[in-house]
Structure 1
Amino acid sequence: MDCVEIFIQALKGICDSFHGFLYIPVLITECVKGFLGFESKRKREDSTILDSLKRTLIYNGIFTVLIVPVIYILFPVCYYILSMTNHENFILSITSVFYCIGIIFRIFPVQIYRLGHFYLFQDIAEDVHKLKNGKPQGWESVQVRFADMAFNFVVQFFYGTQLLTISLLPTIWSICFPNTKLHFVPDEWFLQLIILILTSIWYSLCLFEYKWYYFTWNLHRRLGYIEKNWPYFIGFSFFYAVVTTYSDSYCVNALIAGYLFPFYLISTYHSEPEEDVRICSIPFFQPAVMITNFLIKRISMGTTSNNHISTPTLKK
Structure 2
Amino acid sequence: MENFQNSVKAVISGFIDSLRGFVLIFTLDRQIELQRSRLLEINKSKTDSKRRSNTASKSFVREKQEEPRILHRAVQCSLLNGVFFCLSIFAFYQIFLPSIEALLTFSFSVFGQLNTAQWVWSWTAPVLSATFSTLWILPLFVLSKCVNCIWFQDIADAAYKYSRGRPQLIPSISKMIADMLFSMVIQALFLVQAMLVGLLPIAVFNVVLSTLHMCLLYSLYSFEYRWFNEGWELPKRLTYIENHWPYFFGFGMPLAILTSIPSSTLISGCFFSVLFPFFIISGNEAEPSTRTGSYPLQLFSPVVALANALFNRTIGKHATRAM
- 1:274 maps to amino acid: S
The within-5 A match list for 1:81-92 is 83-84=122-123
- Highest CA radius of gyration, 1 or 2? 2
Task: Provide the secondary structure at the position in 2 that maps to 1:244.
Answer: helix
CA distance 1:218–1:193, change in 2 (3 Å): same
Alignment of 1:1-316 (within 5 A): 2-23=3-24, 44-45=33-34, 48-60=69-81, 61-70=83-92, 83-84=122-123, 115-169=146-200, 185-187=201-203, 189-300=204-315, 302-308=317-323
Shift of 1:298: 1.3
CA distance in 2, matches of 1:228, 1:146: 26
Structure 1 segments unaligned to the other structure (5+ residues): 31-40, 102-108, 170-184, 309-316
Give the alignment's TM-score, normalised by structure 2. 0.70
Deviation at 1:69, TM superposition (A): 3.5
Give identity over the alignment, percent.
29
Mark the CA change 1:197 to 1:306 in structure 2 (over 3 Å): closer, same or farther.
Answer: same
The whole-number CA distance in structure 1 between the counterparts of 2:236 and 2:120 is 53
Question: C-alpha distance in 2, partners of 1:301/1:25?
Answer: 47
Residue type matched to 2:8 in 1? F
> Does the CA contact (< 8 Å) of 1:17 and 1:264 recur in 2?
yes
**Contact 2:242–2:297 under 8 Å retained in 1:** yes
**Shift of residue 3 of structure 1?**
0.8
In structure 2, how many angstroms separate the alpha carbons of the residues matched to 1:200 and 1:218? 21
* Shift in alpha-carbon separation, 1:237–1:24, aligned structure 2, 3 A: same
Distance 1:293 1:45, change over 3 A: farther
CA shift in 2, pair 1:43/1:163, >3 Å:
closer
* Deviation digits for residues 178-234 of structure 1 (CA, Å, limit 9, x no counterpart): xxxxxxx322x3321221111101111111101111111111010000000100000
**Superimposed CA distance per residue, residues 25-56 of structure 1 (whole angstroms, 9 cap, x where no aligned partner):** 669xx9xxxxxxxxxx8761599322332333
Higher mean alpha-carbon deviation, 42-51 vs 235-244, is at 42-51
Q: Alpha carbon RMSD of aligned pairs, Å? A: 3.5
Distance of 2:143 and 2:268 partners within structure 1: 11
Residue 15 of structure 1 aligns to which amino acid in structure 2? Answer: I
The Cα shift of 1:273 comes to 1.3
Q: Distance in 2 between matches of 1:75 and 1:43?
A: 47
Kept after mapping to 2: 8 A contact 1:212/1:222: yes
In 1, Cα distance between equivalents of 2:72 and 2:206 = 41
Query: How much has 1:253 moved relative to structure 2?
Result: 1.5
Aligned length: 264
Task: Give me the whole-angstrom Cα distance separating, in 2, the residues matched to 1:48 and 1:196.
Answer: 33
TM value normalised by structure 1: 0.72
For 1:265-293, what per-residue CA distance to the aligned partner results, in whole angstroms no more than 9, with x for missing partners?
Answer: 10012211133442111101111101001
Whether the aligned pair in 2 keeps the contact of 1:207 and 1:268 (CA below 8 Å) is yes
